[in-house]
Amino acid sequence: MLRSGARQEDGQAILIAVFFMVVLLGFCALSLDVGHAYLTQRHLQASADAAALAGAQALPDVTQASALAATYGPSGSNVPGDASNVQATFATKCLASAPGCSPANAVVVRASAQVPLVFGGLFGVGTFTVHATATACSPCGEKPLDVMLVLDRTGSMCTDSNGNPDPACTDMNNARAGMKTFLELLDPSIDHVGLAVLPPATSIATRCDKPPNSSSYDSQASPYVIVPLANDYLVNGRLNTTSSNLVSTINCVQAAGWTAYANALEAAQAELVAHGRPGVAKVIVFLSDGAANTGPLYYAADSPYLLRPCQQGIWSSQTIAAAGTAVFSIGYDLEHDRCQGETKATQARAPEQGGITAASALPQIASSPSNFYDKPTPGQLNTIFTSIASDILQGTSRLVDDGS
């Protein structure tokens, strides 16, 4: 009896051992399949990340951004291995956390794929679906820049489109608003900004006073750069209206006087050279609403600074661009007023040689055709300054977590 009972217990032990072996093998198989699915998901995520970053480089062109994302995405050239039925969608959106949105500043990629299971079939599960989401912004506000704003604050900035006096100085206020919008899109921890004006101030202490009609041009001591490069313009993402020299000067600068482009551009470049940081991209953003019509009398009588002030502005800008500085120009309600030279002996003005106009000079002052922005009628400049911020920050794409 004892031997028979022992044989029965041996048989039960074998059955239990076989059962646990099957369970153990099942867990091992499940571990292998789960590991395979996890690895495929990581490959899918890497592909989605690459697609979002590639697409963001093309922003703000949303069509090209989506096309690039598709080309480099999970359903394009970066298909994850051992996956099937790969699906991907590509979209653009606006992120409040990134600068500029005209019309989008981010690319969102959502992808899915099916992973074949080697051992899952034993349990009736042949595939497993994995998912990935990636968002990349561009611009992202993380590109170090040294920027000089150059403002034409001549008397026409306080006239209406018919040339009548505008006591509210609407055009000047629009320029102020645009520049402050531009500042809000930058990062003061890495972006430094200064301000130059034309006509120049008679001194730094009088930078907020109305400049005289043209006499400030005639002194080599008159400062065009009235705020050197600085980074105190924002506090906690908001304009520093209490202690920023740049913000307070933008708010207080007044309009009067005649127009000469070249020296203001050259002074802005000199500030970038003298106080800009090594290895940091240099930018000039120049706004003008009219044709040059004067020049400093300390030049010789045959100087193009006097006789051809618009053309000299173009030549000066070309020299600046050749040194590596990107020059953006904004033509504000330019119409087609002709540039005028000035005779040194009598200060008489006559049309500049070649019949050049402000409408033809401002595009040539920009260092490339795409760097010229035209605001043909009076109005807000916020959109243009936002677009310029997007342009100079383009290429700063990075992955972000936007909760998608």
Cβ atoms within 10 Å, residue 322? 9
Side-chain half-sphere exposure of 48, counting CA atoms within 13 A: 25
Rounded distance between C-alpha atoms, residue 257 and residue 157, angstroms: 10
Q: Where in the chain is the domain with CATH 3.40.50.410?
A: 145-400
Q: Are strands 84-93 and 349-351 parallel, antiparallel or unpaired?
A: unpaired
Say what the pLDDT of residue 277 is. 97
399 burial type by CB count under 10 A (0-12 exposed, 13-18 middle, 19+ buried): middle
> Do the Cβ atoms of 295 and 244 come closer than 8 Å?
no
Side-chain half-sphere exposure of 402, counting CA atoms within 13 A: 23
* Crossing angle for the helix pair 382-393 and 170-184, to the nearest 10 degrees: 30
Say what the pLDDT of residue 29 is. 55
The letter for the amino acid at 131 is H
Is the domain spanning 145-400 CATH 3.40.50.410? The answer is yes
Give the contacts of 31 (CB within 8 A, at least 6 positions apart).
none
Rounded distance between C-alpha atoms, residue 127 and residue 120, angstroms: 8
Binning the chain into helix, strand and coil, the percentages to the nearest 5 are 40, 20, 40
Q: What angle do CA 367, 373, 378 make, to 5 degrees?
A: 145
Say what the pLDDT of residue 12 is. 61
> Do the Cβ atoms of 268 and 225 come closer than 8 Å?
yes
Report residue 43: phi and psi, to 5°.
-65, -40
Residue 340: strand pairing partners: 351
Say what the pLDDT of residue 21 is. 57
Give 201-210 contacts, CB < 8 A, sequence gap 24+: 201/226, 207/249, 207/252, 207/253, 208/249, 208/252, 208/253, 208/254, 209/254, 210/254, 210/255, 210/256, 210/257
Q: 């500085």: which residue's tokens?
A: 325
Say what the pLDDT of residue 72 is. 84
Say what the pLDDT of residue 141 is. 65
Rounded distance between C-alpha atoms, residue 175 and residue 369, angstroms: 22
Residue 265's closest CA among 287, 233, 289?
Answer: 287
Task: List the beta strands (DSSP E) in 35-143.
Answer: 84-93, 106-116, 127-137
Cβ atoms within 10 Å, residue 236? 5
> Do the Cβ atoms of 174 and 381 come closer than 8 Å?
yes
Say what the pLDDT of residue 74 is. 79
Task: List the beta strands (DSSP E) in 242-371.
Answer: 281-288, 326-332, 340-342, 349-351
Residue-level pLDDT, tens digit, the chain, 404 residues: 444 545 455 556 666 555 555 555 555 555 666 767 778 888 888 888 988 988 888 887 889 999 988 988 777 666 666 777 888 899 999 887 776 677 888 999 999 988 887 665 556 666 779 899 999 988 776 779 999 999 999 999 999 877 889 999 999 999 999 999 999 888 898 999 999 999 999 999 999 999 987 889 999 999 999 999 999 999 987 899 999 999 999 999 999 999 999 999 999 999 999 999 999 999 999 999 999 999 999 999 999 999 999 999 999 999 999 999 999 999 998 876 899 999 999 989 999 988 899 999 999 999 999 999 999 888 889 889 988 887 887 666 788 887 66
What's the N-to-C CA distance of the chain in angstroms? 71
Q: What global pTM score does this model have? A: 0.72
Torsion angle of the four alpha carbons 141, 146, 147, 148, in this order, in degrees rounded to the nearest 10? 160
